[in-house]
Amino acid sequence: MGKPTGFMEIEKIDRDYKPVSERISNYKEFIVPLSREETVKQAARCMDCGIPYCHSGCPVNNQIPDWNDLVYSNDWKNALENLHSTNNFPEFTGKICPAPCEAACTLNLYEEPVSIKTIECAIIDRGFEEGWIQPQKIDKKTGKKVAIIGAGPAGLACSQQLIRAGHDVTVYEKNNKAGGLLRYGIPDFKMEKIVIDRRIEQIEAEGVIFSYDTTVGIDISMDELKDKFDAVVLTGGSEYPRDLPVKGRDLDGIHFAMDFLPQQNRRVSYEKISSETKEILASDKDVIVIGGGDTGSDCIGTSIRQGAKSVTQLEIMPIPPEQEDKTLTWPNWPLKLRTSSSQSEGALRDFSVMTQSVSGENGKVTQINCVRVDEKMKPIPKTEFSLKADLILLAMGFVHPIHEGMVESSKTDLDPRGNVQANTVDYKTSQDKIFAAGDMRRGQSLVVWAIREGRQCASSVDLFLTGERNLPI
């Protein structure tokens, strides 16, 4: 698609970042978008590859060559319609998705891939600028009622699809705002929360009811929901963090990432923080982040903006290769060394490191004690070392959803990993009328996978309620 010879004539250009010195002084987004004219040129690089592997690389199966061609033709409104046909929230994925579609791009074999993520953002941004994105009102109602528990990306996608199918939808959320990890885990410098707010306004205008500050299993029981609604969907996410069981773990100054990040997000949005919540700040501290993933990177960027004295990120896995062998990995997502925008802001990174213990004085952490490990993660003798630490943030991923309360009271079966058991054919759990989607079902994953599962689950719920499928799979 695009211009047949575009990839040979046009050099790849992507969005840039504001200078580090400028962006770390605030919590605003710092990506500098391409001009509309340059975006059209980048869309022209999408070649007529025959088999668009970018489709398989994208969890929501975005029709990437189609909307690239429409952008190249300056038909932005139809590009937006095409984009929305597979993805309810392109602005979320365009900002924070790692873009496996670009890794799968045919051009990526021997050239630079198409700037898919950049073009996606440009389409949705113009859609909002032009006022093309409006609530969709459905006149024909089915009379069926659905409860969705959890207002993260899976729950939001599911709710919007079901309301558009004519069902009455109520979303129960334990926090006082919708968004889940998008709002409380993703820092504002990666995605400002107005991006979520405008979508919630649209979803509410379409008829979805949000019940905030409502914890299912405490404020309302699962039995009540099953009696009141024709179907219940569990989209509560995977929130039980992986801990660090070492000597000194109980010292003051060691916290889970998801105790640290939401606080700052609430500060930025002037949300009230409970007086019972212990304040966690990196200001003027030597910060150690354990875990080399996206959450660890978010801890780095937040710590730097809070004025940390130093930030060091430790990863138990070995350092990946700087460049993958594309002839072996393409079109799959390759393992290679990547440097996030936060890591480039001044953090030190160390690989193949295991924490052995933590030391402190007067009940407060002062030092982390480590050892280097081999490829089998076994300690290497005589490689022990220590680092100064005033604050240690644990960002080692999440094990499974929290079982206490909602999950236990739902009486649904769990898979061997502790997730709510449901397949991707119908998303039904072991209990009648109860479905599950997103991280609660599949485990910790990407926002784009949550959107996909929310959409697919909505289609299955619609089939369950009406006997026919009126929503895309």
Which residue from 117, 3, 125, 104 is spatially nearest to 57, judged by alpha carbons?
104
Q: Are residues 381 and 439 in the same domain?
A: no
384 lies in a domain? yes
Q: Are residues 255 and 385 in the same domain?
A: yes
40 lies in a domain? yes
Q: Are residues 231 and 339 in the same domain?
A: no
Condensed to tens digits (0 to 9), the pLDDT of residues 10-31 reads 999 999 999 999 999 999 999 9
Count: domains in the chain: 3
Work out the average pLDDT over 210-221: 96
191 lies in a domain? yes
Task: From 345, 370, 396, give the residue that closes a domain.
Answer: 396
Q: Are residues 199 and 279 in the same domain?
A: no
Condensed to tens digits (0 to 9), the pLDDT of residues 408-423 reads 999 999 999 999 999 9
- The span from the CA of 312 to the CA of 387, in Å, is 9
Residue 88: Cβ within 10 Å count: 24
Work out the average pLDDT over 88-109: 96
Q: Are residues 337 and 251 in the same domain?
A: yes
85: domain CATH number is: 1.10.1060.10
**pLDDT for residue 276:** 81
The per-residue pLDDT of the chain, averaged, comes to 96
Condensed to tens digits (0 to 9), the pLDDT of residues 302-316 reads 999 999 999 999 999
Task: From 363, 396, 429, give the residue that closes a domain.
Answer: 396
235 lies in a domain? yes
With bands split at pLDDT 50, 70 and 90, how would you rate the model's confidence at 357?
very high
**What's the chain's Rg over C-alpha atoms?**
23
Question: CB-based burial of residue 220 (10 Å sphere; 0-12 exposed, 13-18 middle, 19+ buried)?
Answer: middle
Q: Are residues 265 and 373 in the same domain?
A: yes
- The span from the CA of 364 to the CA of 431, in Å, is 47
Condensed to tens digits (0 to 9), the pLDDT of residues 247-298 reads 999 999 999 999 999 999 999 999 988 888 899 999 999 999 999 999 999 9
472 lies in a domain? no
Higher pLDDT: 273 or 439? It is 439
**267 three-state secondary structure:** helix
- The span from the CA of 434 to the CA of 144, in Å, is 14
Q: Are residues 251 and 374 in the same domain?
A: yes
140 lies in a domain? no
Q: Are residues 314 and 229 in the same domain?
A: no
Condensed to tens digits (0 to 9), the pLDDT of residues 329-347 reads 999 999 999 999 999 999 9
Residues 6+ apart with CB under 8 A from 230: 144, 145, 146, 433, 465
Condensed to tens digits (0 to 9), the pLDDT of residues 113-161 reads 999 999 999 999 999 999 999 999 888 899 999 999 999 999 999 999 9
137 lies in a domain? no
Q: Are residues 403 and 392 in the same domain?
A: no
Work out the average pLDDT over 212-233: 96
Q: Are residues 428 and 375 in the same domain?
A: no
Q: Are residues 461 and 406 in the same domain?
A: yes
Domain that includes residue 110, residue range: 6-129
With bands split at pLDDT 50, 70 and 90, how would you rate the model's confidence at 301?
very high
Cα dihedral sign for 453, 197, 68, 19? negative
**pLDDT for residue 268:** 96
**Does residue 369 carry a pLDDT above 80?**
yes
318: domain CATH number is: 3.50.50.60
**Percent of the chain scored above 90 by pLDDT?**
94
**Does residue 1 carry a pLDDT above 90?**
no
With bands split at pLDDT 50, 70 and 90, how would you rate the model's confidence at 187?
very high
Residues 6+ apart with CB under 8 A from 75: none
351 lies in a domain? yes
Task: From 99, 129, 159, give the residue that closes a domain.
Answer: 129
Q: Are residues 262 and 407 in the same domain?
A: no
* Low-confidence winner among 138-142, 192-196, 391-395, 444-448 (lowest mean pLDDT): 138-142
